[in-house]
Structure 1
Amino acid sequence: MTDWTAAVDVGTSAVKAVLLDARGRIRATGQAEVPSAHGEQEPEDWWEASIEALGRCGESVSRVRMLALTGQMQDLVCIGGARPLRPAILYSDTRAHGELAEAYRLLGPEWTDVTRNEQDASSLPAKVLWLRKHEPDVLERTELMLFGASGYVGWRLTGVGCCDVTTASTTGLLDAAARTWWPTAADALGLRDVLPRLVDGEAAIGTATSPAAREAGLLPGIPVVVAPGDAVSTTIGIVGDDPHRGYTYLGASGWLAVVVPEARVPRAAHRLLLPTPGRQLMIGAVISAGAAADWARRTFLPGMSAADADRLAAEAGPSGLLALPSLRGERFPVRDPLARGVIVGMTDTTRPDQLYRAVLEAVAFAFRTLLDTVPDNGVPIPVTGGGARSGLWQRILADVLGRPVLRTNTSEEVAALGAAATAIRAAGGRPPPPLADRDASTLLRPGPASMQYAKLAAAHAALHSTLTPTFQALQDKP
């Protein structure tokens, strides 16, 4: 390939754009904020922010000959009369908790098995039922449903309504084995005529129309690829898509993601299809990771900086405690909205720095629950996100996981880089290697403490199930 590729990642809070030259080098980046209301966003804000982010890449946009799109998944976008009929209901919105039981009655007990994911109030069938109950006119006027931000931007560019299989696997509407929309769900919900075309994320959905291309500063007629949704594009950008490669992310929330064959995985894990048949991304997502760490530092070590708190907790060694970081419910290793934070094992000699460290260890133990299901291929596990700046947390991860970890200098545009790599490969070019293979630092191998943590792993894995009745009792009204 001799031409440049642009990639756009349409996130919840911002759109990030990146331009890559023919050798896969980043030549320009741009970013624009996305306004947000609680649980909803205006799809047109995604489009306008995408235009702004591309514009901030400068005049080099004129060299782009292919555009790749990725972004947030599991959104509900209803289109009628060539425009959105209401704001998009986001993946994080759980207003449809009352409709979830109705969805299970409608779709039957096989719903989880067919979709290969445990369903909750964020699933699209529950949201569709919520619309049917509260905004029936929207459903009646809907001519096309889209399920991700990149699908909407792709529709604005090409006029083609589509959904990549990764995003589709988050919706609760996909027959994962067949990699097609599930007819039972489509018929039961009355969606057969409004579902978008499924694409594998490795082929152009169409070409940019002249009006849309002019608006975005692009050349008319360039191919547009809707790449895999953001979680898989991020994975491709960091470690690629080879089996048994994975990474951890430590932000306000956190997760461990591993590419695995399409086989049975822990029930609470999220499973997302990759473009390559036979592969899926297994994700153990912890609701409160960095958020729990910040809470623990403020609560147990008030006024202390993160660096000083880490230094104090590092000197103390393993806490000798077991904790759950579930301050706002939990998604992994269980799906339990009633789960709460817990610290077990305190005595009259327990110090504040031990309590703080126990919360960091708790996140690592949750990741270990998932990693223990994956063969150890000896490849280090990259650690990304803001929490990766903590040398203490990196050390805890290496010791608790029992695997070497690698701090990777990931960029904010990593999902866009993964989307670009997918598009370049689809066009017959050679994509740049993943970041973990070319831009890494600070390899940490498990240390002496790993044996101590290994003895506690089974006890930690049992904590959630042991305390489920307690969490329920705490929510029961007197």
Structure 2
Amino acid sequence: MGFHLGIDVSTQSVKCIVIDTENGTVPAESSVNFGRDLPSYHAPDGFRPNADPRIKQADPRMWLDGLELALEQLSASGFDLARIDGISGSGQQHGSVYCREEFSPLRPGRSLAEQIGPRLSRPVAPIWMDRSTATECRELDAAFGDRLQRDTGSPAIERFTGPQIRKFAREEPKAWRRTRRVHLVSSFLCSVLCGSDAPIDFGDGAGMNLLNLQTLQWDPAIVEFTAPDLMAKLPPAVPSATVAGGLDGWFRRFGLRPGIPVVVWSGDNPNSLVGTGAATPGLAGISLGTSDTFFAPMRVFKTDPQGCGHVFGNPAGGFMSLICFTNGSLAREAIRRELAVNWEFFDRDALEQSSTGNGGRLMLPYFEPESTPPVPRPGVRRNYTQATPAEEIRAILESQALSLRLHSSWQGERFRRIRLTGGASKSTGFRQILADVFQAQIETIQVTNSAGLGAAFRAANAVEQISFERLSDRFCRPQEITHPDPANAELYQEMLKQFRDFEAAAQQA
């Protein structure tokens, strides 16, 4: 039993978490917010402002500076980082990074950004929120039809990596020819730790429209169609328990031991699956973050006939389903700002001052283009004209819960227990709404950084061969349980039908 470090590089922050596998404790954590702590990058929400709202790009050097700062904070916390036995990480899924040369050992005395910035063939990285690839998606769908979803787990999706690559190769051919390696956010940062090119794990690789989930290899026909010479530029795809290499000596400045195993990183969604203790069938997870996501291990491989749900690799083996709702906390924050209320009112008072069902008020809070269902242009829709602030808040929360249930039903499994994580999981009122809408027991765990915790789990699993079930028992025991009220089952079942019809009518308008 030992200590393992999980690093989560998300849309808006870098977080580190150390776990003690013997005692089941978290002895050290750190957190860096890009907007607050790295204002020189002018990315308050984790991406650079752009006149085109479809374009969402970040500067990879910001992630590197954030990583350094988070490790400095962790080192200053008092925990001896020399005790760390293994490291893994979580990167925001689907983003792509383009390098003009392969990684090599780092040089002491210079920052990560100073060394790695000049190695980039493209100074920006499109992230998961980018929706500028509609043309490329149509071309991929036209070329491969149903096979694209059947074999890669998803139809062509604007925020996925394959369409991002195709767009870059077409619009900037000279820069594309200079590109020697295409990385995901996860494999890019893993390469930084190793000082050598890291592979891409099955979990994150499945979010690219390039990995054939039947063979677990890059699909030659799709890769060849996507961009010239792409196959030679992709790292290999490997299982999630693969050790990518040893920690580069540059990181001894934080007290870490050079050479300790660095387990291949994965995407935030696969990491959150294991980090909530929901890696084995029977449990599902909901992450209430910048976007809301519903994820669950799959008993049988199947795809969503509506094309909204996706299939990724499960770090514990097999596959997982995932449905992403772009307007999660983004929309909740927007409504809170519009109403000029504080979070105490939003999370507690508003629900006390409104009634269950809210008089049938429903909202489609598309402040950003939505992923589920696909809505290319932002625009908030309501089926009502009048509401108090409390009723407006209940409308968005009940509608988001109904949308989560509606669009997760394609899996064909009724989940009776759901693990909740992310910032909004602290809201007791929202937890009760979710419990009543799903008629399921809602459980929260002590650690809210499920992606970072899952990364630490994956390090412990690969280095010490500790099972995910054992890690879950130690770290993911439910802290608070919210039971559904059976008296609200019929009401929400009827509202689910109303929401489905409201959403369908809005898409046709």
For Structure 1 versus Structure 2, the TM-score category normalised by the shorter chain is 0.7 to 0.9
Q: Evaluate the alpha carbon distance shift between residue 149 and residue 227 of structure 1 in structure 2; reply closer, same or farther with a 3 A threshold.
A: closer
| Counterpart residue number, 2:87 | 67
Distance 1:65 1:105 in 2: 48
Which of 479, 495, 499 is the equivalent residue of 1:456? 495
Indicate if the aligned counterparts of 2:287 and 2:420 stay in contact, CA closer than 8 A.
Answer: yes
Matched, 1:279 2:315: no
| Counterpart residue number, 2:204 | 167
Distance 2:89 2:288 in 1: 24
Which of 125, 132, 141 is the equivalent residue of 2:162? 125
Which of 345, 361, 364 is the equivalent residue of 1:324? 364
Q: Evaluate the alpha carbon distance shift between residue 331 and residue 181 of structure 1 in structure 2; reply closer, same or farther with a 3 A threshold.
A: same
Q: Evaluate the alpha carbon distance shift between residue 285 and residue 278 of structure 1 in structure 2; reply closer, same or farther with a 3 A threshold.
A: same
Pairs within 5 Å for 1:18-37 = 18-23=17-22, 24-34=24-34, 35=41, 36=43, 37=47
| Counterpart residue number, 1:360 | 397
Structure 2 counterpart of 1:200, one-letter code: P
Q: Evaluate the alpha carbon distance shift between residue 435 and residue 323 of structure 1 in structure 2; reply closer, same or farther with a 3 A threshold.
A: farther
- What CA deviation, in whole Å up to 9, does each residue of 1:136-180 have, x standing for no partner? 112111221111234433355241331111111111111122111
1:242 CA displacement: 0.5
Structure 1 counterpart of 2:258, one-letter code: P
Q: Evaluate the alpha carbon distance shift between residue 11 and residue 377 of structure 1 in structure 2; reply closer, same or farther with a 3 A threshold.
A: closer
- What CA deviation, in whole Å up to 9, does each residue of 1:214-257 have, x standing for no partner? 35642222111014311111221112310131122223432222
Indicate if the aligned counterparts of 1:148 and 1:163 stay in contact, CA closer than 8 A.
Answer: no
Distance 1:285 1:435 in 2: 28
Q: Evaluate the alpha carbon distance shift between residue 215 and residue 103 of structure 1 in structure 2; reply closer, same or farther with a 3 A threshold.
A: farther
Distance 2:257 2:491 in 1: 59
Structure 1 counterpart of 2:3, one-letter code: W
Q: Evaluate the alpha carbon distance shift between residue 355 and residue 278 of structure 1 in structure 2; reply closer, same or farther with a 3 A threshold.
A: same
Which of 309, 316, 326 is the equivalent residue of 1:269? 309
Structure 2 residue matching 1:161: 3-state secondary structure: coil
Indicate if the aligned counterparts of 1:403 and 1:446 stay in contact, CA closer than 8 A.
Answer: no
Structure 2 residue matching 1:56: 3-state secondary structure: helix
Which of 191, 212, 215 is the equivalent residue of 1:154? 191
Structure 1 residue matching 2:95: 3-state secondary structure: strand
Distance 1:156 1:137 in 2: 29
Structure 2 residue matching 1:367: 3-state secondary structure: helix
| Counterpart residue number, 2:428 | 391
Structure 2 residue matching 1:65: 3-state secondary structure: strand
Distance 1:44 1:294 in 2: 27
| Counterpart residue number, 2:73 | 56
Indicate if the aligned counterparts of 1:79 and 1:143 stay in contact, CA closer than 8 A.
Answer: yes
Q: Evaluate the alpha carbon distance shift between residue 288 and residue 187 of structure 1 in structure 2; reply closer, same or farther with a 3 A threshold.
A: closer
Structure 1 counterpart of 2:246, one-letter code: T
Q: Evaluate the alpha carbon distance shift between residue 292 and residue 92 of structure 1 in structure 2; reply closer, same or farther with a 3 A threshold.
A: closer
Indicate if the aligned counterparts of 2:350 and 2:393 stay in contact, CA closer than 8 A.
Answer: no
| Counterpart residue number, 1:428 | 464
Which of 476, 484, 487 is the equivalent residue of 1:445? 484
The number of residue pairs the alignment matches comes to 460
| Counterpart residue number, 1:196 | 235
5+ long unaligned stretches in structure 1: 471-478
Aligned CA RMSD, in angstroms, stands at: 2.7
1:371 CA displacement: 4.2
1:76 CA displacement: 1.6
Distance 2:21 2:358 in 1: 50
Pairs within 5 Å for 1:207-226 = 207-210=246-249, 212-214=250-252, 217-226=255-264
Q: Evaluate the alpha carbon distance shift between residue 127 and residue 209 of structure 1 in structure 2; reply closer, same or farther with a 3 A threshold.
A: same
- What CA deviation, in whole Å up to 9, does each residue of 1:189-238 have, x standing for no partner? 2211111011211121122243x343564222211101431111122111
Output the TM-score relative to the length of structure 2.
0.82
Distance 1:169 1:361 in 2: 31
Matched, 1:259 2:276: no
| Counterpart residue number, 2:328 | 289
Structure 2 counterpart of 1:186, one-letter code: V
Distance 2:100 2:350 in 1: 58
Structure 1 residue matching 2:429: 3-state secondary structure: helix
Q: Evaluate the alpha carbon distance shift between residue 253 and residue 155 of structure 1 in structure 2; reply closer, same or farther with a 3 A threshold.
A: closer
Q: Which structure has more helix as a fraction of its residues? A: 2
Structure 2 counterpart of 1:55, one-letter code: E
1:315 CA displacement: 4.2
Indicate if the aligned counterparts of 2:444 and 2:478 stay in contact, CA closer than 8 A.
Answer: no
- What CA deviation, in whole Å up to 9, does each residue of 1:348-392 have, x standing for no partner? xx655334322211001011114444433533x233323223332
Q: Evaluate the alpha carbon distance shift between residue 307 and residue 16 of structure 1 in structure 2; reply closer, same or farther with a 3 A threshold.
A: closer
Structure 1 residue matching 2:222: 3-state secondary structure: helix
Q: Evaluate the alpha carbon distance shift between residue 294 and residue 63 of structure 1 in structure 2; reply closer, same or farther with a 3 A threshold.
A: closer
Question: Quick check: 149-158 or 108-117, which moved more?
Answer: 149-158
Q: Evaluate the alpha carbon distance shift between residue 52 and residue 294 of structure 1 in structure 2; reply closer, same or farther with a 3 A threshold.
A: closer
Distance 1:177 1:122 in 2: 22
Matched, 1:85 2:117: no
1:276 CA displacement: 4.1
Which of 451, 457, 476 is the equivalent residue of 1:415? 451
Structure 2 counterpart of 1:235, one-letter code: L
Structure 2 residue matching 1:388: 3-state secondary structure: helix
Matched, 1:335 2:390: no
Distance 1:303 1:401 in 2: 30
Q: Evaluate the alpha carbon distance shift between residue 207 and residue 356 of structure 1 in structure 2; reply closer, same or farther with a 3 A threshold.
A: closer
| Counterpart residue number, 1:475 | none
Distance 1:290 1:80 in 2: 36
| Counterpart residue number, 2:109 | none
Q: Evaluate the alpha carbon distance shift between residue 49 and residue 138 of structure 1 in structure 2; reply closer, same or farther with a 3 A threshold.
A: same
| Counterpart residue number, 1:473 | none
Indicate if the aligned counterparts of 1:148 and 1:167 stay in contact, CA closer than 8 A.
Answer: no
- What CA deviation, in whole Å up to 9, does each residue of 1:254-310 have, x standing for no partner? 222222232233521132211344321x222222233433444555xx444443454
Pairs within 5 Å for 1:225-264 = 225-261=263-299, 262-264=301-303
Output the TM-score relative to the length of structure 1.
0.87
Indicate if the aligned counterparts of 1:46 and 1:149 stay in contact, CA closer than 8 A.
Answer: no
Distance 2:354 2:155 in 1: 39
Pairs within 5 Å for 1:125-144 = 125-144=162-181
